[in-house]
Amino acid sequence: MAKRRCTHAGSWYSAHGATLSKELDTWLDQVPDNIQDVGKVPQPSARAIIAPHAGYAYSGPAAAWAYKSLDVSKAKRVFLLGPSHHFYLPDCALSQCTQYNTPLGDLLVDTQTVAELHKTGKFGKMSKSVDEDEHSLEMHLPYIFKVLFKHFPPNELPPLVPILVGNTNPAKEREYGDILAPYLEDESNIFIVSSDFCHWGLRFNYTYYLPATNSAPSEGINLRSRDKPTRPTIHDSIERIDRLAINAIESGSHDTFINNLQGTGNTVCGRHPIGIVMCALENLKRALKLNSLTTDFKFIRYERSSLCMVVSDSSVSYASAFARVECEDVAAQFEDDIGAQQQVSEGGENRTSTVGQAS
């Protein structure tokens, strides 16, 4: 039984279980029970979230907003999608481990679902070393354990389906979205997307700057060391760049998100897993499988590691969002279908023909 060690514990977050648990509780308690323009959290059927994956000293409080919004009441498994930072990957890879360790306790991997996905022929396998080197998945494990532990007995925690997402192109993201759409449709599945937002500064090789609040996203300039912009400030420009990406994600259109990234070059490290889940949602919309309570991702928190004033400064942005995913009631649809069939039998051949065309 291969267990993935929590290799970033003790550096990126506390390796002491009691300390870590208290920190997570503190950050979750700091999130209001009623969020402005949202209402009470967790929202029913909020089964998909986007949350950051930096060291907890930087992004732990921001991630709490997403996890406080997550509805795990019907969860049977948790899909966790994160970007590959250190290992080049043109597609997606699945874990070969059967357990993921955290300082709070172990989380099992849903090996049956992993095997199902692997049979599609579209997923590779990540080695244990690649798995343990990557932080984008690990940084979510303590929060996942915490929220599941509040709702399920210790020996009945829903298992994980970890997916490492590589440098996928838009067509690949649509393909993976189609594969994952049936799982997203299932109300017993949770989807967690791991992503930070803008990585700004010379050390990230990204110094894009929008010189005016009314400038188009593609009308920015790349600042050089000697540049000293003040109106707007660099950090105001960074926020606008991020808000444009956030608005694109909230639109629910994968194409809009891709176009935004092409315009600004925003260094959203989880852009590919975000794109895949957006495509899965679009797939369900096209199939008319979602009811009116479903929402696209709604962002509820935005923070940065620091506020950049000069070009030599740097910052990373953190944003949290949730999406409500509710599918049409299968039982109700079944009753409607039976009613339609009864009407057909009572109405003769003409009505049969009309129903056939409508279907």
Q: Model pTM?
A: 0.90
Q: What is the pLDDT of residues 227-278, one digit of tens each?
A: 999 889 999 999 999 999 999 999 999 999 999 999 999 999 999 999 999 9
Q: What is the pLDDT of residues 31-42, one digit of tens each?
A: 999 999 999 999
Q: What is the pLDDT of residues 44-71, one digit of tens each?
A: 999 999 999 999 999 999 999 999 999 9
336: confidence class by pLDDT, cuts 50, 70, 90 = very low
pLDDT for 1 equals 62
- Pairwise pLDDT comparison (295 vs 334), residue with the higher score: 295
User: Taking 90 as the threshold, does the pLDDT of residue 358 lie above it?
Assistant: no
Q: Are 281 and 184 in contact (CB under 8 A)?
A: yes
Strands 123-126 and 77-83: unpaired
Per the structure block, which two tokens stand in for 291?
A: 């009811």
Task: Please report, rounded to a whole number, the percentage of residues in the chain having pLDDT higher than 90.
Answer: 84
Per the structure block, which two tokens stand in for 69?
A: 């919004």
Q: Which amino acid is located at 52 in the chain?
A: P
Of 180, 7, 195, which is closest to residue 85 (Cα–Cα)?
A: 195
Q: Are 250 and 297 in contact (CB under 8 A)?
A: yes
Per the structure block, which two tokens stand in for 330?
A: 């299968």
Cβ atoms within 10 A of the Cβ of 26, count? 12
The residues facing 318 across adjacent strands are: 303
Q: Are 166 and 275 in contact (CB under 8 A)?
A: no
Can you tell me the distance from the alpha carbon of 190 to that of 106, in angstroms, rounded to the nearest whole number? 18
- Spell 182-220 as b/e; 16+ CB within 10 A means b: ebbbebebbbbbbbbbbbbbeeeebbbbbeeeeeebeeb
pLDDT for 25 equals 98
35 HSE (CA, 13 A, CB side)? 20
